[in-house]
Amino acid sequence: MLRDKCAVVTGSTSGIGLGVAQALAAQGAAVMLNGFGEPSQIEAMRRALSERYDVPVAFHGADLATSDGPSELIAAAHEALGSVDILVNNAGIQHVAPVEDFPIERWNAIIALNLSAVFLGMRAAIPHMRRRGWGRIINIASAHGLVASVHKVAYVAAKHGVLGATKVAALELANSGVTVNAICPGWVLTPLVEAQIAARAEANGTSSLIESEALLSEKQPMLSFTRPDAIGALAQYLCSNDAATMTGAALPIDGGWTAQ
Ligand code: NAD
């Protein structure tokens, strides 16, 4: 389905981004990976993905929290793979603290990566997509793009902002062949969430299992985590021709979290 397409997936050395990169490669897309990690592990991941699906896979380690990082990543993808047809803005971080104690440095870091990098990535990729008359932008927002939780002021503000930016870009790109949508996951068991579970277990003197169950039952009527490959399957659908008229949407995949 995506044999002649090139996809940039930010933050794809782990978690949801890796699940999305695998799903797009499985459909034949060439993939530019991005993110942090141990270089030898990233190289092994890059090679495994390329060999498993017989597609070109490149890696660029741009720090997307910098103002030049997103445009450097898009330029590198264009050079390495020949085009940028699909952009999945996925890289994100979290910090948990009450508003009055929230470190300003953490606020700035979360806004830079979770919100500004989405804008900067779209800004750099859109001209390539317009030129080819086809494109798919998928912004990984969150249930926290739709509703709030305590102690996540920067994350919730950034993810609400991502939905706003998604809608604006969708309107501007209507009739260009480029769609722009957001996916709003509930809990997905990735290193980002495992860190929150571990912190709760330490603070409460409990186990990770108990805190996983508590995390789910506080928010999700469905008491199970969404898998990264299920987010990948939704991204595959958004890249398909059947989704050609779906744009500006915020799609929850959240076990009923935001239905309440
Ligand atoms: P993760 O921690 O497993 O992966 C984050 C990825 O981003 C990693 O590849 C990391 O190296 C990369 N990254 C971090 N800082 C970066 C930077 N400055 N520049 C470039 N790359 C950077 O996290 P995840 O849970 O897979 O989250 C991915 C996205 O999904 C995030 O935007 C997150 O907000 C969103 N999300 C996650 C959940 C969940 O439950 N896990 C739920 C809703 C939304």
DSSP the chain: --TT-EEEETT-SSHHHHHHHHHHHHTT-EEEEE--S-HHHHHHHHHHHHHHHT--EEEE---TTSSSHHHHHHHHHHHHHS---EEEE-------B-GGG--HHHHHHHIIIIIIHHHHHHHHHHHHHHHHT-EEEEEE--GGGTS--TTBHHHHHHHHHHHHHHHHHHHHHTTTTEEEEEEEE--B-SHHHHHHHHHHHHHHT--HHHHHHHHHHHH-SS-SPBPHHHHHHHHHHHHSGGGTT--S-EEEESTTGGG-
117 and 233 within one domain: yes
Atom of ligand 1 nearest to the CA of 69: 19
133 and 16 within one domain: yes
Around ligand 1, the residues with Cβ closer than 6 Å are 10-17, 34-37, 63-65, 90-93, 113-114, 140, 142, 185, 187-188, 190-193
pLDDT tens-place string over residues 97-150: 999 999 999 999 999 999 999 999 999 999 999 999 999 999 999 999 999 999
Would you place residue 21 in the very low, low, confident or very high pLDDT band (cuts 50, 70, 90)?
Answer: very high
Segment 153-174 shows an average pLDDT of: 99
pLDDT of the residue at 83? 97
Residue 258, domain member (yes or no) = no
Domain extent at residue 220:
189-225
Tally of domains within the chain: 2
Residue 259, domain member (yes or no) = no
Domain CATH for 106: 3.40.50.720
Atom of ligand 1 nearest to the CA of 65: 18
| pTM of structure | 0.98
pLDDT at 192 over 90: no
Is 53 a catalytic site residue?
Answer: no
Task: Choose which residue among 88, 90, 113 to substitute to test ligand 1 binding: the one with the highest number of ligand atoms within 8 A of its C-beta.
Answer: 90
146 and 25 within one domain: yes
Task: Choose which residue among 156, 192, 225, 226 to substitute to test ligand 1 binding: the one with the highest number of ligand atoms within 8 A of its C-beta.
Answer: 192
Annotated catalytic residue: which of 134, 155, 187, 225? 155
